[in-house]
Homo-oligomer: A and B are copies of this chain.
Amino acid sequence: MTVMQQAYNVYEDRCPTRLVLDRLADKWALLILDRLEGGPVRFNHIRRDIKGISQKVLAQTLRKLERDGLISRTIFPTVPVTVEYALMPLGRTLTDTVSALAHWAETNMDAIFTAQRAYDEAHSV
């Protein structure tokens, strides 16, 4: 089923679906959602697991996902303070699709790299 057959047209500017898709189409958000699938995780734990993400971007992305109601943020008054992030029911309905995208990437990366080499060779000469 394509999007055009729906009540909303995702190709339209100002389409609310676009606002949601813009948010979802973010590599860090997808990786974080996938990482949370196994259960609640702390801030620095995510930071250490997802190599290459900066503290600033991790904090920003977690805030956005929390605002969207996809994940929850729970503070435990330990010393030092512990903050746990977990998937909300709404976020859980998304993880199948996110995993499917990650799985597609892994399955097809060799074909993509082959295509890239062919393209570069054809366009360098």
Contact = CB atoms under 8 A, between A and B. Distances in A.
A53 B104 CA distance: 26
Interface centre among A27, A68, A106, A116 (most CB of B within 10 A): A106
A77 B105 CA distance: 35
Contacts of A83: none
User: How many copies of the chain does the oligomer comprise?
Assistant: 2
A78 interface: no
A104 to B, nearest CB: 6
Given A2-B37, A90-B115, A102 B10 contact: yes
A17 B94 contact: no
A90 B111 contact: yes
A17 B109 contact: yes
A112 B30 contact: no
Interface in A51-81: 51-52, 66-70
Nearest to A2: B37
